[in-house]
Structure 1
Amino acid sequence: MHTYRFLLVLFVTCHVNQVVGNESTVVKWVSEIYNPEYSYQLEKTVVSKKYVYIVGSYFQTNLKRLPSAGYWLAQFDHSGKKLFFKNYPDNLFDAVESLHVKHDEQVVMVYRDKQRKSHISKLGANKQWELAKDLASGFHTSSILELDNSLLLLIGHKYLDSSITALNNDLTIKWEKTIDLGKDDFFTDAISDGQEIIVVVNSGKMEQFFMGKSSLIIGIIKPDGCCFKELFKTSGRGGFIKRSSKGYSIVFDKKSDYKKEIVITKYDKKFLMKTQKTLITQKMGLSPFFAVAVEDYWVVFMEDKLRPHIMKATINGIVLSDFKDVEQPPGFGVFGNCFVKNCAIGYTVINQDTDKKWNNKINLKYLSF
C-alpha cells in the first residue's frame, strides 16, 4: 500500500457568465484533483439528482505513460462539497468504459482490463466495488441507459457485431441481442417509450478516435430485443437521439475526421427531415463529442482547441448558450453530464512537473444554465 498525500483544491465562484441570446451560463464552483505521485486521467462524469461523480484512471508519475496503476472515483454534492475520493489499485485495470447511477442510488461501472475483457461492478455501501458480471472479451460499452425496469448496455467493437445487453435490477441478464449490419458497427444511444426501443448505430469504418467513413442508422427493436428494423440512414457518426411531441431530434457529426461539423436535425415521426442546424464546424481535436438531452433542450460537450466547449441548444438547433473555457490550461478528454439545469464538465489537464514528468490533473466545473 502506497502512502501519499492527496491534494484536492476546491474553488467556489459565481463570477463567470457567458451570454448568447437571452440565456447565460454561470460557473457555480470548480474543483481540481491533483496528486504529486500520480498522473490522473478523466474517463466519465455523471450528474444525478443528489450527486456528481467523476471517474478515471491513474498512473505512476513518470516520463512515459505506463500501464495504469488503477482507477479512482470522486463524489461531490451539488454545492461543491467533496464527499468522497479514493484510488483503487488494480494492476489488471485498463480503462473505464461507462458509469451510471441506477435509480439515482446505485452506482454501476463497466470497465475493461488489459486482456480487453469488460466487467460490470456496483459500488457497495462501504465504497468498495463489487463485481456483478463479466462480459465477453473484445467489447466496448459506449453507454448505459436506464429504460423502464432494466439497464441497457450499448455495446460495440471494431471487429465484432454490435450487441445490446439488458440487465435486471439485480444486474442479472434479462436479454441479449446481437445485430450484424455487415460493417464495423457501434451503438451510441437509445430511447424507449415502453413499447419499443429506438437505437442509434454507427456502421462503417471505425478507426481510432472514432474517425473514418460511417453511416448513422436509426433502428427499432422490441422491448425483449427482438427483430431489429432499420428506420433511417444517413452519412455521419456519433449520434444522440431525443423524442419530441412531433417527432425526433438527433445530434450527430456530419464529418468523418477531426474536422467536425456537429448538427442538430429535427425529424417527424416517420424520420422525414424537417430542419437541420449546424452548431459548430471547425477542427476540434481527436476526442469524440457527447450530447445530453435535458428536458426540452440539448447540451453538447466537446473538446475545442484542447479546452472544454459546451453549447446549449433547442431541439430545433437554436443555440441558447455557448460556453468556452478559454482561460484554462490545455487538456484532453472532455466528459460532461447534466441534471435539469445543472451540468458538470470535467477534463484532463496536461501537466508536467519541474522534472518534466507527466503529472496530469483533473479539472471539474459545475455549470448552471
Structure 2
Amino acid sequence: MIEYRYLGNSGLKITELTYGNWLTHGSQVENDQARACVNAALDVGISSFDTADVYANTAAETVLGEALKGERRESLEIFTKVYWPTGPGGPNDTGLSRKHIIESINGSLRRLQTDYVDLYQAHRYDHETPLEETMLAFADIVRQGKALYIGVSEWTAEQIRAGAALAKELRVPFISNQPQYSMLWRVIEDAVVPASEEAGLSQIVWSPVAQGVLTGKYLPGAPAPAGSRGTDEKGGKGMIARFLDDQELLARVQGLKPIAEELDLTMAQLAIAWVLQNRNVAAAIIGASRPEQVIDNAKASGVSIPAEVMARIDEVLGDKVARDPALTAETSPATRRA
C-alpha cells in the first residue's frame, strides 16, 4: 500500500504517490480508460489526486470528477490549480486576478462535483496582478470553505517567501509548491527547497520520470517508440523534445539500468523512488494511460535508496543534470498573453 506524508507544516496527510491527469484525461486517453486508471490508483491505496482547470481546457477536471463520483469524499485529497487560460481565452480568462480566481474555483468545484478542494494552487506566478490581490482572493476562498489549503506551482524562492509572508499576515494555510523535479531536472534544490523549508512548504513534484525518459524506453540513435509521449503531437512530444534531442543524455540514462536491477526495481520505479528520497518532497505525481502503469509505479512507495547508490546515480548522469535555479523563473510568462 502507498505510504502517507505530511504536506508542509500542516496536519494534512497525502499519499506520497499522487495520481495526476495532465496530458491524459480529456485528451490522450478515452474516458473509460481514464476511469480505469483512477480505479487502479484507488485500488493500490492512492487517495490524493491532482488536476488543473487548464488540462484539456477543463475537460480533465470533468473526467476526474466523474471517475471519483461515489467515493467517500472525506477519504480523498483533491488538488486543482488556476492561472492558465481557460474557456474562450478572453482577457480575464487567465492569470491570478481576483475575478479569475473566484470564477475559476467555482468552475472547478462544479466540474469535480465537490463542495471543496483540499488544495488550491496558483499554477504559475502572475507578474501582472499584485500579489496582495491574489493572496487575498485565496484567503477568501479558504474562509468560504471552498479550499482547505493553498499552494503554488513553479514559483521562485523569492516569490515563495513573499507569498508566505502575506499568507502569514492573512492567516491562510500556505503549504505546498508543485515544481518539476527528477534525476535530470534538479533546479529546485539550491534555492526553492530551502525557501520552502523556511516557509513551511513541501513539494508535490511533477514529471519524476522526466516525461518518460527515465523509463529507459528512449534509446540513443533510435526513433521514439510508437504510441509513446515522444510521438504524441497533442503536446507530449514538445515537452519531451529537450531530452530526446540529447543523445548523450539518453546514453547516460541507459547506464541506470544495472542500478535499478540491483534494487529489484524497474527504471520508472527507481526514478520515482529517487525524488521521494528528498525530505522536502511530500509526493510524486504519477500519470498513466493504462491501469498497469499505476500498479507498477505504486511499487516505488516506501523504497529507501542507500546513500552510496544515490551517489552512483549522480556519477552515471554526470553533467547531464540541470541544476540552475534560474530555470524556475523561465517557466512563468512575463505577461499573461505570452
TM-score > 0.5, shorter chain as reference: no
Which is greater in Rg?
A: 1
Higher relative contact order (CA 8 A, sep 6+): 2
- More helix by percentage: 2
Q: Calculate the TM-score normalised by the size of structure 1.
A: 0.29
Instruction: Name whichever structure is richer in strand by fraction.
Output: 1
Q: What is the TM-score when the length of structure 2 is the normalising length?
A: 0.31
